[in-house]
Amino acid sequence: MCVRHAGAWQWGVAGALPGIIMPASPTVDGQPYYQEYYPGEAEDVGEVIGIGLAQVVPAGTFSDCIKTRDTSTLDASLQETKVYCRGVGLVHVDEPDHTVELQRTTGL
pLDDT in tens, 13-64: 888 888 898 899 999 999 999 998 988 888 999 999 999 999 999 999 999 9
Domain spans in the chain, listed from the N-terminal domain onward:
48-101
Q: Is the pLDDT of residue 1 over 60?
A: no
pLDDT in tens, 22-36: 899 999 999 999 998
Closest CA relative to residue 34, chosen from 8, 6, 75, 70: 70
Q: Is the pLDDT of residue 80 over 70?
A: yes
By the 8 A CB rule, do 37 and 43 touch?
yes
